[in-house]
Amino acid sequence: MKFRVVLLLIFLLAFFCPDANDLALAAEKPEKKAIILVMDYIDAADLCQADIPNLERLVARSGTALINIRTKSRLPSSSYLSLAGGARVGSIPGAEFSFNSHEEVVELPNIYMYKDSPPRAGKLYQLFTGTPPPPEGLVNLYIEPLTKYAGKHNPSFSPGQLGALAEDWGLKTAALGNSDTINSVDRNIVLLAMNEAGQVNEGDVSTSLLERDKLSLAGVRSQHQILLDKFDSSLKKADIIFVDLGDSSRVEKSRENCADEVLAQHRKNALERNDELLGRLLPRIDMQNTVLVILVPNPHKDMVLAGNFGLTPFIMHQPGNGAGLLSSATTRRSGLVNSSDFLPSILAFFNPDSPYQSSSIKTIPTKDNSLEKLERDLGFFVRLRASRSPLHYSFIALALLSIMIVACLACNRRTKWKPFGVFLLYTSLSIPVIFMFLSFSAYSSIGWSIIIALLASMVLALFIKFVSRVPADALLILTAVVALLTLVDGLRGSPLMLLSPLGSDAIAGGRFYGIGNDYMGILIASSVVALSLLLAKLRLSPSGKMLIALPSLLLVSFTIGHPSYGANVGGLITALVTTGVFTMYMLEHRLQLKQLLAIGALAVLGVLIMAFLDGWLNPSPSHAGKTIILLISNDPSVFLSIIRTKLSILGSTVYHSGWSIVLLLDIIVLGFIWQKEAIKGLKQERPEVAQIINTLLIAAATVFIVNDTGVIAAAFILFYLLSYLGILLAEHDT
């Protein structure tokens, strides 16, 4: 019996215990590493002009993109905090003051200066925080005021988020290098690696990493051999290593006493030194198990002066992925990522099953991921941004003139100018379509962009006028064209709208995908006007009208609100309210306040349900889906923070946007012509006019209330309403 038991035990041990070969393989399994090399204040053009063969070889097997690093303050440390926190945040002066625990600290701004026997950073850290410092690590000496600032920030955030999450997962971070000059301290690199206590357990950011250089603008430069030795040591101890190459930052910090052409040469020299160091680093790295990132947290001054305060080059090598363009769920655009994508991408690499996987940066294979492509793309975005305001104000000028013409038509003045007035209205209504195709001009010249837009709009207006001599029929064709093109582009992911002057601004980073508020208002208004004119022409029964109007407006709502297409929550609420009101009128029901409130409540409820399902079921949810999950899983104060932010944006838009003037004039002229005999006669002749007026007025009011930049969409909706009335008035009096 005992013999059988022994045999059974031997069998079980042999079956369940791992084989010696398996144990050896497990022991030899390489560890994953993430290495982030920071070369700050660099433009894509700088990379293209420098001799950087090692970086070019890395690019040939990596993903490239422009990263939006816009923050909520102008301090350089804000970019580092935003990257480490996964959100757009601000910073405080002094956040860059980090030191080795044993390093002597001669001066802390606004605190002390002590050249004789200065204290060590670790002692100061414990004095300020009451927490023991890591004996051989790094400390941020401004972590307490930074934490207090972060708690009052809107929204609040936690400094050291990336380092803290890494610790929770059992990962160790390290920080190496600095951007010090001969007379200043700059260790922003620690903001990426530190935990919430302002500590990093591994690394070196001290002055021992520098060597004097009389030919350098800053008087010092990175000492490569010592930095490499420190890197070898950290590579054995840490999982995520942040390295500040430093020299390009020192050039930017010392630019004031330097000629522009000489400054460019110094930046080129710094890049080429960085490339030499990269060439010595790469053989030390197991590229099959390492994420390697080239990160530029801040633009240099010349970039900002040229209009680019938000886009810098970004290179990311991901094991298993080849060359291509980088994209993310935040941007949904090839070759463009956001600073908020950085944290989830690093963490997702170490744990592919984590929730960060859906938010991480992906590589899209492509033939051209070169540095030259980044330079071309950046040039396009800079030119688009430079053209936006002139093109907007050209459109605004035409819109204001058109609104005044509608007022004149309502007063039946200057009859001989009516054909010109109608032509001007056609031209103004054509501009949104022309703007959608203006990106094909590459915005090479602001003047030419304006001329092309105006001439093309006039040609389209002439064509519409030629196609139909009846103004109402011409307006039907024009608004149907606007609505259909906008709708089709929205269902295709908005490639034309995004690159339009009325679309998103990749540099400002307000919206990277979907349908913006400008085109959302245009799509709703043009759809309502086109449908009303079509249904009036067909003279169907109420149920027949509903069979055409309801599916059409639901398709508009779907395109505007679906997370994979328009992803515009305020627009979806507005579109659903508009659909409900328009349908009620088509069924010839009287619309009362109680019914209107019910329609609004159902629209909001529908949007909340859709956003919840998007956040719960979609691995890459839209902004609305993320917000709903955030509200469910966090403190309700998050909701108040969102409301505060939205109201702030609305107030800023009302104050700064030129479309506020258009909206104001829309309202004034509508009030002025409301009781005019011409409008009364128009309502009697065409019963649908009153219904369309009420529908678009409700739509404009709704979008103004529920959308953070609703002033623009409301201005467009009321402009289309006035244009509709003006063209019908011209036909009525002909």
| pLDDT at 650 exceeding the cut of 50 | yes
Rg of the chain over Cα atoms, rounded to whole angstroms, equals 31
Instruction: Count how many Cα atoms sit within 13 Å of the Cα of residue 170 in the half-sphere of its side chain.
Output: 4
Per-residue model confidence (pLDDT) at position 182 = 87
The fraction of the chain above a pLDDT of 70, given in percent, is 88
Helix 637-656 and helix 623-633, axial crossing angle in degrees, nearest 10: 140
In 3D, which of 387, 253, 377, 270 has the Cα closest to residue 327?
377
**What's the rounded Cα separation, in Å, for the pair 397 and 428?**
10
In this prediction, residue 640 has a pLDDT band, given cuts at 50, 70 and 90, of low
- Pairing mode, strands 210-212 and 173-176: unpaired
The CATH number assigned to the domain holding 269 equals 3.40.720.10
User: Could you report the per-residue pLDDT of 400-455, keeping only the tens digit for each?
Assistant: 999 999 998 888 755 677 888 899 999 999 999 999 999 999 999 999 999 999 99
Same domain, 343 and 475: no
Same domain, 482 and 357: no
In this prediction, residue 457 has a pLDDT band, given cuts at 50, 70 and 90, of very high
In 3D, which of 435, 408, 441 has the Cα closest to residue 424?
408
| pLDDT at 27 exceeding the cut of 80 | no
Per-residue model confidence (pLDDT) at position 643 = 56
Number of domains, the chain: 2
Lowest mean pLDDT among 478-487, 619-628, 686-695: 619-628
Per-residue model confidence (pLDDT) at position 302 = 93
420 part of a folded domain: no
Give 202's strand partners.
Answer: 174
List the Cα angle 457/502/366 in 5-degree steps.
105
Work out the average pLDDT over 292-297: 97
Lowest mean pLDDT among 20-24, 128-132, 171-175, 553-557: 20-24
Work out the average pLDDT over 531-555: 91
| pLDDT at 22 exceeding the cut of 60 | no
The stretches of 468-510 forming alpha helices (DSSP H) are 471-491, 495-498
579 part of a folded domain: yes
- How many residues are given for the chain? 734
Per-residue model confidence (pLDDT) at position 436 = 96
Residue carrying the six token digits 């509608």: 406
Per-residue model confidence (pLDDT) at position 641 = 55
Work out the average pLDDT over 219-239: 94
- Pairing mode, strands 107-108 and 112-113: antiparallel
Per the rule left: phi > 0, alpha: psi between -120 and 50, beta: everything else, 539 is left
* Beta-carbon count within 10 A of 391 CB: 22
In this prediction, residue 46 has a pLDDT band, given cuts at 50, 70 and 90, of very high
> Which among 328, 348, 369 is the end of a domain?
369
Element (H, E) at 599: helix 593-617
User: Could you report the per-residue pLDDT of 564-580, keeping only the tens digit for each?
Assistant: 898 888 889 899 999 99
| pLDDT at 5 exceeding the cut of 50 | no
Structure tokens at 509: 């980073």
Residue 677 CA: distances (Å) to CA of 44, 409, 422, 471, 592: 62, 11, 20, 20, 26
Lowest mean pLDDT among 223-232, 431-440, 557-566: 557-566
> Which among 328, 354, 369 is the end of a domain?
369
Same domain, 344 and 484: no
| pLDDT at 3 exceeding the cut of 50 | no
642 part of a folded domain: yes
Alpha carbon dihedral 541, 544, 545, 549, in 10-degree steps, equals 170
* Beta-carbon count within 10 A of 27 CB: 7
460 or 708, which is more confident: 460
655 part of a folded domain: yes
Per-residue model confidence (pLDDT) at position 41 = 96
Structure tokens at 270: 């710094």
337 or 600, which is more confident: 337
618 part of a folded domain: yes
99 or 601, which is more confident: 99
34 part of a folded domain: yes
Per-residue model confidence (pLDDT) at position 12 = 42
Per-residue model confidence (pLDDT) at position 25 = 34
Q: What's the mean per-residue pLDDT of the chain?
A: 87
Helix, strand and coil content of the chain, in percent to the nearest 5, comes to 60, 10, 30
**What's the rounded Cα separation, in Å, for the pair 455 and 340?**
41
378 part of a folded domain: no
Per-residue model confidence (pLDDT) at position 688 = 86
Per-residue model confidence (pLDDT) at position 29 = 52
| pLDDT at 222 exceeding the cut of 80 | yes
Residue carrying the six token digits 């988020």: 161
Spatial CB neighbours of 448, under 8 Å, sequence gap ≥ 6: 441
User: Could you report the per-residue pLDDT of 121-171, keeping only the tens digit for each?
Assistant: 999 999 999 999 998 899 999 999 999 999 888 778 899 999 999 999 999
Q: Does the pTM exceed 0.85? A: yes
> Which among 369, 398, 427 is the end of a domain?
369
Residue carrying the six token digits 């104060």: 637
Per-residue model confidence (pLDDT) at position 677 = 84
Domain residue limits at 77 = 24-369
Per-residue model confidence (pLDDT) at position 611 = 61
Per-residue model confidence (pLDDT) at position 624 = 56
Helix 371-410 and helix 710-732, axial crossing angle in degrees, nearest 10: 40
**What's the rounded Cα separation, in Å, for the pair 572 and 555?**
11
**What's the rounded Cα separation, in Å, for the pair 1 and 136?**
60
In 3D, which of 458, 471, 348 has the Cα closest to residue 409?
471
The stretches of 135-208 forming alpha helices (DSSP H) are 143-152, 161-168, 189-193
450 or 504, which is more confident: 450
Per-residue model confidence (pLDDT) at position 649 = 56
User: Could you report the per-residue pLDDT of 327-375, keeping only the tens digit for each?
Assistant: 999 999 999 999 999 999 999 999 888 888 888 999 999 989 999 999 9
In this prediction, residue 711 has a pLDDT band, given cuts at 50, 70 and 90, of confident
| pLDDT at 476 exceeding the cut of 90 | yes
Same domain, 127 and 268: yes
Structure tokens at 597: 């409130």
Per-residue model confidence (pLDDT) at position 383 = 96
**What's the rounded Cα separation, in Å, for the pair 377 and 369?**
11
Per-residue model confidence (pLDDT) at position 701 = 92
Per-residue model confidence (pLDDT) at position 628 = 54
540 part of a folded domain: yes
User: Could you report the per-residue pLDDT of 666-701, keeping only the tens digit for each?
Assistant: 999 999 998 888 888 888 888 889 989 999 999 999
Structure tokens at 295: 């990160």
| pLDDT at 474 exceeding the cut of 50 | yes
CA 361 distance to own-chain centroid: 14
Residue 533 CA: distances (Å) to CA of 62, 68, 316, 475: 54, 44, 53, 8
Spatial CB neighbours of 548, under 8 Å, sequence gap ≥ 6: 531, 534, 535, 538, 540
User: Could you report the per-residue pLDDT of 194-211, keeping only the tens digit for each?
Assistant: 999 999 999 999 999 999
